Amino acid sequence: MKKLWYLIFLTMLILSACGEKEGQTEGEKDNGNMDASFITIATGGTSGVYYPIGGAISNLLEEEIGSDASVQSTGASVENINLIDTDRTELAIVMADAVSQANEGTGPFEENGAIDLTAIASLYPNFVQVVTTEDKGIESIEDLAGKNVGVGAPNSGVELNARMILEAHGMSYDDINEDFLSYSEAIDQIKNDMIDAAFVTSGLPNATVIDLSTTNNAKIVPIEGEGMEQLQELYPFFSEGTIPAGTYENEEDIPTATIENLLIANKDLSEDAVYEITSTIFENIETIHDSHNAAQNISLDTVEDGLPIPFHPGAKRYYEEQDVLD
């Protein structure tokens, strides 16, 4: 009889422990108690700017705080946001326009509704670069009508930009022959005379555009005037920018649109984890700067620039300690 009661007691104890563990796991997820032991960083294509910056962050987290960190090549912004939303990545680099649409449940996020996102930092501006070659005779966005145009990978931030830029100029995909291509694919097809132009939204310089400049008379189509004004009226997260002379053997500055890139965090990461990630990045910022020329713009002074979502509490705590928030 004593043995029977002992077995019953032992069974109840095990079930109680399992139930407590399951409850803690659910509570940890709800309360954002995920630590920084395993960190995946969703970036973009390997030929873009996100990938080397993400790689630098990954290496830092491994070296400085012992994370099992990895960088993931993706289709960039829209895919990255969906990866964050479905808990398949902990950190992601994305463009502010895609984040705005996710936050509002519009555009590619309309079907499934708004997504609650949190930011670590605004990183650096992306420059919309509509790339072509001199022999194509394309002088303006309107000249893309009837042309074969690479518009970025499907559902990428570049592709969102392409739609917005065309809309601001009274155009849509109905006016062009769109082709969904990554940076490297688009540039290869320009070289092979299979497309006439391509949207390349990235930091400066973009390696694939440099590559095109070595073999062809590459040209960046300006975005300015009424088209730029309409773009900012429709989508206020765009700013006016300039591609400096000499970036791609261009003799003069080229006016274009810019948009901020953001580092966002899975909201299930704990405050302490994101504090540690944020402090590691900015206390080793020279390492991040060395990853790409565009990364040299990453600074504590600009962490709020163009930010359409709130900071993760861990990032906010670090910035408050550094007294950098407005």
pLDDT tens per residue across span 227-269: 999 999 998 889 899 999 999 989 999 999 999 999 999 999 9
Three-class DSSP category at 263: strand
Confidence of residue 12 (pLDDT cuts 50, 70, 90): very low
Helix (H) or strand (E) holding 190: helix 183-191
Task: Note whether 195 and 268 are same-domain residues.
Answer: no
Helix (H) or strand (E) holding 201: strand 197-202
Which percentage of the chain shows pLDDT scores above 90?
78
Which of 1-10, 159-168, 297-306 is predicted least confidently?
A: 1-10
Task: Note whether 118 and 265 are same-domain residues.
Answer: yes
Task: Note whether 55 and 105 are same-domain residues.
Answer: yes
Q: Which of 216, 243, 259 is the last residue of a domain?
A: 259
Q: Which of 229, 259, 289 is the last residue of a domain?
A: 259
Task: Note whether 244 and 171 are same-domain residues.
Answer: yes
Which residue in the block uniquely carries the two structure tokens 């299930």?
Answer: 268
Is residue 2 in a domain?
Answer: no
Is residue 78 in a domain?
Answer: yes
Task: Note whether 159 and 184 are same-domain residues.
Answer: yes
Average pLDDT value for residue range 212-229: 96
The pTM of the whole model exceeds 0.85? no
Predicted local distance difference test score (pLDDT) of residue 306: 86
Is residue 46 in a domain?
Answer: yes
Which percentage of the chain shows pLDDT scores above 70?
90
Task: Note whether 293 and 242 are same-domain residues.
Answer: no
Task: Note whether 160 and 247 are same-domain residues.
Answer: yes
Mean predicted lDDT score pLDDT of the chain? 90
User: Domain range for residue 294?
Assistant: 38-123+261-322
Average pLDDT value for residue range 271-296: 97
Is residue 243 in a domain?
Answer: yes
pLDDT, tens digit, 9 for 90 and up, residues 128-170: 999 999 999 999 999 999 999 999 988 788 898 999 999 999 9
pLDDT, tens digit, 9 for 90 and up, residues 108-123: 899 999 999 999 999 9
DSSP line for 56-113: HHHHHHHHHH--EEEEE--S-HHHHHHHHHTTS-SEEEEEHHHHHHHHHT-GGGTTT-
Question: How many domains does the chain divide into?
Answer: 2
Checking if the pLDDT of 73 tops 90, the result is: yes
Phi–psi pair at 89, nearest 5 degrees: -155, 155
Checking if the pLDDT of 66 tops 90, the result is: yes
Distances, alpha carbon 56 to alpha carbons 81, 97, 211, 265, 291, in Å:
20, 24, 23, 17, 6
Is residue 3 in a domain?
Answer: no
Is there a contact between 292 and 51 (Cβ–Cβ < 8 Å)?
Answer: no
CATH at 94: 3.40.190.10
Task: Note whether 296 and 184 are same-domain residues.
Answer: no
pLDDT, tens digit, 9 for 90 and up, residues 304-317: 998 999 999 999 99
Task: Note whether 216 and 309 are same-domain residues.
Answer: no
Task: Note whether 135 and 252 are same-domain residues.
Answer: yes
